[in-house]
Structure 1
Amino acid sequence: MNKLNLVLKVFKDEFSIEYEKIIYSNSTFIEPVIDGNNLTTESTNRKGIVVWNEVKKLLANQVNF
């Protein structure tokens, strides 16, 4: 059976991280680790990022039918 861990990384103030040529600061990332392999740092496949403020904007502008 596979073991899933979620690692929370918080970048505040002067700390930042570059991801796909975009620099993020004052951000929080959740990194999936499966069987000890961190998929964010060890995978060569494209990783996903959810920018929650953008999701909120989309939901606020969504029209209900």
Structure 2
Amino acid sequence: MAWTTIFENEQLTVVVDDEKSNIMVELSSGGYRPRFVTAHWSAEEAQAVIDALRKAVAAVRKDDSPL
């Protein structure tokens, strides 16, 4: 199993699993006793989430400029 951490902060970790060719996204609730949720996504599923996040950022910024 070859895991490569791509991004990590207190509440979010993004890891690539080379063996299974998928992306793991782990979310933490933070705090004294954090709870974790891990999603395993294909590249296509991850791209759909990226596209949705870009749309959400554009809506918050109230413009359609590319990120």
The alignment's TM-score, normalised by the length of structure 2, stands at: 0.29
Higher helix share: 2
Higher strand share: 1
Give the number of the structure with larger relative contact order, counting CA–CA contacts within 8 Å between residues 6 or more apart: 1
The alignment's TM-score, normalised by the length of structure 1, stands at: 0.29
The structure with more radius of gyration: 1
